């Protein structure tokens, strides 16, 4: 089915992203995967190309365009190129809205120009060794010391954790407040007592630096509180919808890409004297996946449009996230199977997509948590 949500401007932007991938990302990607990290130069190149801060107001060096479809194009192209390691989407669509939506004028002037140029790479640190799905279990504390916050605790699984120059940390500011006692505290590179732990060794997305962070008596200036004191939970709930639709967009894009390369593969690969595609079982496999992808595409595109218009709610974002990523997981597994032994070889894109994509049903809220959100909304 013809997609109908994009204009010529979006198509032109897609070409820009493709050129950027071809010139600035793909030639280096193998090395980045070996290094376990991308280069800072790629971030600066993305800034020069106007791929950072798409929705940030122009006065701070951003694109000034809040049409979410541009972000969707970026996510689709990076996914289909097999290059999730350069986490522009995390920076633009997950951390960006906290800075633009909650930042004071002074904070925006301080952080946004570097955010848009690629000089300030960002991360968000919610998860801790003992608290992932249940953010009420967060133990990192930010004590009010009058003229500063005293930050203590540790975080894990933080994307961009090694490269980040600015980390939005979720910390307890009112110890007995439960979910209502959490705040967003911005920690900047170089703060005394802020240390990075291991760059974690993952099964996929090898070039994405996912790290542990430690905060030992870090004195954070009072003016680095982002948003309301004790208001983090509400801020997170407001912004997580965008994170989830972004993961869904990548999920369906990955599934479609896997289907495309596998369709080609089964036409070329021969067994028992004819192409695999002549076998009914193979045709049924492809037919089922194509149907599931088409149905999912329709729903996700509808969510993209609603989100661009500002109307996508948390429940539909959760539906899109769990559905599209579980589809991605199923399609990756079936496509790998259809490649036979070659599918298990890392040099084949299907193998890389299988391991790179496996995280999709876990981060940004697991499938189970998405179902909890949906179920609660229906059965409250």
Ligand X SMILES: Cc1cc2nc3c(=O)[nH]c(=O)nc-3n(C[C@H](O)[C@H](O)[C@H](O)COP(=O)(O)OP(=O)(O)OC[C@H]3O[C@@H](n4cnc5c(N)ncnc54)[C@H](O)[C@@H]3O)c2cc1C
Residue 125 sits in the site that holds ligand X (CB under 6 A): yes
| End-to-end CA gap in the chain | 37
Question: Which residue among 214, 299, 348, 363 contacts ligand X (CB under 6 A)?
Answer: 363
Residue 368 sits in the site that holds ligand X (CB under 6 A): yes
Residue 133 sits in the site that holds ligand X (CB under 6 A): yes
Of residues 124 and 185, the one with the C-beta less far from ligand X: 124
Map residues 146-165 to x or -, x wherever contact with ligand X holds by CB under 6 A: -----------xxx------
Residue 102 sits in the site that holds ligand X (CB under 6 A): no
Question: Which residue among 183, 210, 224, 239 contacts ligand X (CB under 6 A)?
Answer: 210
Residue 166 sits in the site that holds ligand X (CB under 6 A): no
Shortest reach from residue 196's CB to ligand X, in Å: 14
- The residue number whose beta carbon is nearest to ligand X equals 132
Applying the rule CB under 6 A, the residues between 273 and 312 that interact with ligand X are none
Q: Which one is catalytic: 76, 77, 212, 243?
A: 243
Shortest reach from residue 59's CB to ligand X, in Å: 28
Annotation says 30 is catalytic: no
Shortest reach from residue 200's CB to ligand X, in Å: 8
Of residues 54 and 247, the one with the C-beta less far from ligand X: 247
Shortest reach from residue 343's CB to ligand X, in Å: 22
Nearest to 304 by CA among 92, 4, 69: 69
Binding residues for ligand X, total number by CB under 6 A: 20
Shortest reach from residue 204's CB to ligand X, in Å: 8
Binding site for ligand X (CB under 6 A): 123-127, 132-133, 157-159, 202, 210, 359, 362-363, 365-366, 368-369, 372
């Amino acid at each position: 089915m013809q997609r109908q949500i994009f204009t010529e401007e979006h198509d032109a932007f897609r070409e820009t992203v493709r050129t950027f991938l071809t010139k600035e990302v793909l030639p280096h990607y193998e090395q980045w995967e070996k290094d376990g990290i991308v280069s800072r130069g790629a971030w600066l190149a993305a800034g020069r190309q106007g791929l950072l801060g798409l929705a940030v107001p122009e006065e701070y060096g951003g694109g000034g365009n809040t049409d979410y479809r541009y972000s969707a194009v970026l996510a689709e192209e990076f996914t289909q190129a097999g290059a999730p390691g350069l986490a522009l989407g995390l920076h633009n669509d997950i951390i960006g809205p906290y800075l633009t939506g909650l930042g004071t004028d002074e904070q925006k002037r301080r952080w946004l120009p570097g955010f848009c140029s690629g000089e300030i790479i960002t991360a968000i640190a919610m998860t801790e060794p003992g608290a992932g799905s249940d953010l009420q279990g967060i133990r990192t504390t930010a004590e009010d010391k009058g003229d500063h916050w005293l930050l203590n605790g540790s975080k894990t699984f933080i994307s961009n954790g090694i490269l980040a120059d600015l980390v939005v940390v979720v910390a307890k500011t009112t110890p007995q407040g439960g979910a209502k006692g959490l705040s967003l505290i911005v920690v900047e590179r170089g703060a005394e007592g802020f240390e990075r732990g291991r760059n974690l060794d993952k099964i996929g997305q090898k070039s994405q630096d996912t790290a542990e962070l430690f905060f030992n008596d870090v004195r954070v200036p009072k003016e680095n509180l982002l948003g309301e004191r004790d208001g983090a939970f509400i801020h997170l709930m407001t912004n997580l919808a965008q994170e989830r639709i972004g993961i869904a967009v990548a999920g369906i894009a990955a599934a479609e890409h896997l289907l495309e390369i596998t369709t080609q593969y089964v036409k070329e690969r021969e067994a028992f004297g004819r192409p695999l595609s002549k076998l009914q079982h193979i045709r049924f496999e492809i037919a089922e996946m194509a149907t599931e992808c088409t149905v999912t595409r329709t729903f996700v595109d509808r969510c993209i449009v609603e989100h661009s218009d500002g109307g996508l709610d948390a429940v539909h974002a959760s539906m899109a996230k769990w559905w599209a990523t579980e589809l991605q997981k199923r399609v990756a597994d079936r496509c790998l199977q259809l490649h036979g032994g070659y599918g298990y070889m890392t040099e084949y894109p299907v193998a890389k997509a299988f391991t790179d994509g496996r995280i999709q049903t876990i981060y940004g809220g697991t499938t189970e948590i998405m179902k909890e959100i949906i179920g609660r909304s229906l059965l409250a």
